[in-house]
Amino acid sequence: MARPRLHLDADTSIRQLQRALLERGHDVTRTPNAWLAEGAGDEAQLLGATAQGRIIFTFNVRDFVVLAERHPRHGGTVLAAQRQWTLSALIAALDRMLKETTAEAWVGQVQWLARWKAADSA
């Protein structure tokens, strides 16, 4: 079973977040990059991440729930309400999620990151 690979969409494209996850051994990309231009729309980001075999992480809940329904074979979508998270809590939850799940389990799935939030960071 393959380890999940993650893409940070334009809303979650935080360099420190990417760096921290890379340092923990995860395969993480962010918008923009070689296969996704700066200013790429939400649908292009979802489809680009899917084509690259990546789960997409976003704070843009409203738009990505609709896109996930429109493209049911997407690579996986992780949602979070931005105001509820500190950077350190995001790092810890995403690290836990990437360690505890497999890429195969994510296909077509939409999950809330809060599922992997540590009790002490609530």
Residue by residue, DSSP assigns 47-100 as HHHHHTT-EEEES-HHHHHHHHHHSTT-S-EEE--GGG--HHHHHHHHHHHHHH
Selection from 31, 56, 122, 30 nearest residue 85 by Cα: 122
Q: What is the mean pLDDT of each run of 10 residues along the chain (122 residues)?
A: 96 96 98 95 97 98 97 97 95 98 97 89 51
CB atoms inside a 10 Å sphere around CB 27: 16
Q: What's the pLDDT score for residue 1?
A: 86
pLDDT value, residue 121: 54
In angstroms, the Cα distances linking 104 to 21, 29, 32, 73 are 20, 19, 25, 11
Cα(90)–Cα(13) distance, integer angstroms: 12
Q: What is the pLDDT of residue 120?
A: 60
